[in-house]
Amino acid sequence: MSKKSGFKIIGTGRYLPGRPYTNHDLARVMDTDDEWIVRRTGIRQRHFCPEGVGVSDLALPAAKQALEDAGRAPTDVDYILFNTMTPDHVFPGSGPLLGEKLGCVGVPALDLRTQCAAMMFSMQVADSLLISGAAKTILIVGAEAHAGFMPWSDWDILEGTSDKKPEPEDWDRATRHRGLAILFGDGAGAMVVESGENGGGVLGMDVHTDGCHVDKLLIPAGFRTRPFISKRTVEEDLWIPTMQGRDVFKYAVTELPKSIRRACERAGVGVGDVDWFVAHQANQRINDVVRERLDVAPEKVPSNIARYGNTSAATIPILLDEMRRDGRLQEGQLVCFLALGAGIHWGSAVVRL
Ligand code: COA
């Protein structure tokens, strides 16, 4: 798919709510410990969205920062791509809410539901919209509020504002979901993209979906039951994601290296030519294995999972913003983005900055 590209990142932003919660904080509400979490995932802390706040609220400061960085006003935006798996409401999506908060009334706002692989799909959609002339200035946002599916209600104990101990049944329930609960954190990232010149943009892309593995990571509740939120759904915790972590891990380390090789081939570059691999941050060990399989130096695969955990759709724009603001990213560099998430959706994109 080597072709002329419309995609140039001209601004980025990020927002992390509140204070970080450490692994030690989590160990107050379930049977886990810092050593296990760090060794198996690389995560040391994460942020949680406060109650009553939705992803459109998290996205707003990130979007404003990205627009300011790009030197663009909200009135310049002519398309919004909103990526989340934890929307403010079951429907409509969070794109319309962000558009209203930004003052982009009348601007098309498309919600994408490709979970942790979101940015791969959004980049492809944005590139196509720019090339077709359907849009000139696109705001891409990823935002997540996973706190709503955390398997405990003792937020005061977690926060250390209460000396109480969890009831044994609350402790046991949170512990049953501990493999999932330690992974996720909340936040938002945004980027503004426009048509590039001088041979920049998306040089090669590779995206896939394999619905045979939907059961590996999903929230079981939905519109298959009547009513879709029932006593049974709540009692059986069907609104908390179920995850077969080992299978997801194996899928990621098998498919992502293949995807990166394909994207590089389509871009007409070697894996060794890439300056940065900006990877989704689901588990540090996944990125280490992918890197080893591609024979890439560790310093080319930046990591921020220790500070934020897995922020799903928000991860790549948050990391991108950190790298842009601290000067690691420079005009003309070759960046390979890569991600995999529930669906299973996955892919990679080779982009010239
Ligand atoms: N704290 C302490 N012990 C825990 C724990 C926790 N938070 N979570 C699980 N354990 C225990 C298990 O109960 C199990 O104990 P047992 O051997 O006595 O039965 C043991 O640790 C191993 O559990 P397992 O689930 O096999 O661990 P793992 O090495 O596969 O690590 C994940 C679990 C979730 C960290 C890992 O599978 C993973 O990251 N997978 C990918 C998930 C992912 O990327 N999801 C998002 C996609 S975007």
> To the nearest whole percent, how much of the chain has pLDDT over 90?
95
CA dihedral sign, ordered 340, 138, 193, 86: negative
Catalytic-role residue among 23, 83, 283, 310: 310
The confidence score (pLDDT) of residue 4 equals: 66
pLDDT at 6 over 50: yes
Find the mean pLDDT for residues 35-50. 98
Catalytic (active site) residue 264 = no
Catalytic (active site) residue 310 = yes
Residue 283 near ligand 1, beta carbon < 6 Å: yes
Catalytic (active site) residue 49 = no
Task: Count Cα neighbours of 321 within 13 Å in the Cβ-side half-sphere.
Answer: 29
Q: What is the pLDDT of residues 65-89, one digit of tens each?
A: 999 999 999 999 999 999 999 999 9
> To the nearest whole percent, how much of the chain has pLDDT over 70?
98
Going from the Cα of 245 to the center of ligand 1, the distance in angstroms, rounded, reads 6
pLDDT at 351 over 50: yes
Residue 56 near ligand 1, beta carbon < 6 Å: no
The full set of domains in the chain, from first to last, is 6-196 (3.40.47.10), 201-302+312-352 (3.40.47.10)
pLDDT at 33 over 50: yes
The confidence score (pLDDT) of residue 199 equals: 67
Tokens of 201: 């943009």
Asked whether the beta carbons of 83 and 118 are under 8 A apart, the reply is: yes
The confidence score (pLDDT) of residue 10 equals: 96
The confidence score (pLDDT) of residue 244 equals: 97
Does a cis peptide bond (omega within 30 degrees of 0) precede residue 227?
yes
What is the spatial distance between Cα 147 and Cα 19, in angstroms, rounded to a whole number? 13
DSSP-derived secondary structure letter, 73: -
* From 24, 180, 247, 249, mutation site for ligand 1 pocket: most ligand atoms within 8 A of C-beta: 249
The confidence score (pLDDT) of residue 197 equals: 72
- 25-39, 168-182, 219-233, 290-304: the lowest-pLDDT one: 219-233
**Contacts of 310 by beta carbon, 8 Å cutoff, 6+ apart:** 43, 116, 183, 184, 185, 280, 281, 282, 283
Residue 281 near ligand 1, beta carbon < 6 Å: no
Atom of ligand 1 nearest to the CA of 280: 48
Q: What is the pLDDT of residues 175-225, one digit of tens each?
A: 999 999 999 999 999 999 999 876 678 999 999 999 999 999 999 999 998
Q: Whose CA is nearest to atom 20 of ligand 1?
A: 179
Catalytic-role residue among 49, 104, 116, 264: 116
Find the mean pLDDT for residues 257-262. 98
Find the mean pLDDT for residues 235-258. 97
Rg (CA), the chain: 20
Find the mean pLDDT for residues 299-316. 98
Residue 339 near ligand 1, beta carbon < 6 Å: no
* From 40, 150, 180, 256, mutation site for ligand 1 pocket: most ligand atoms within 8 A of C-beta: 40
Residue 148 near ligand 1, beta carbon < 6 Å: no
Please write down the long-range contacts of 131-137, taking CB distance under 8 Å and 24 or more positions apart. 131/4, 131/5, 131/6, 131/195, 134/79, 135/78, 135/79, 136/78, 136/194, 136/195, 137/72, 137/76, 137/77, 137/78, 137/79, 137/192, 137/193, 137/194
Find the mean pLDDT for residues 142-148. 98
Question: Buried b / exposed e across 174-193, counting CB within 10 Å, b at 16+?
Answer: bbebbebbbbbbbbbbbbbb
Q: What is the pLDDT of residues 329-343, one digit of tens each?
A: 999 999 999 999 999
The confidence score (pLDDT) of residue 1 equals: 43
- Which residues, in sequence order, are bridge partners of residue 143? 188
Going from the Cα of 342 to the center of ligand 1, the distance in angstroms, rounded, reads 17
The confidence score (pLDDT) of residue 196 equals: 80
Q: What confidence category does residue 2 fall into, taking pLDDT thresholds of 50, 70 and 90?
A: very low
Count other C-beta atoms under 10 Å from residue 1's C-beta.
12
Going from the Cα of 166 to the center of ligand 1, the distance in angstroms, rounded, reads 22
What is the spatial distance between Cα 70 and Cα 65, in angstroms, rounded to a whole number? 9
**What is the average pLDDT score of the chain?**
96
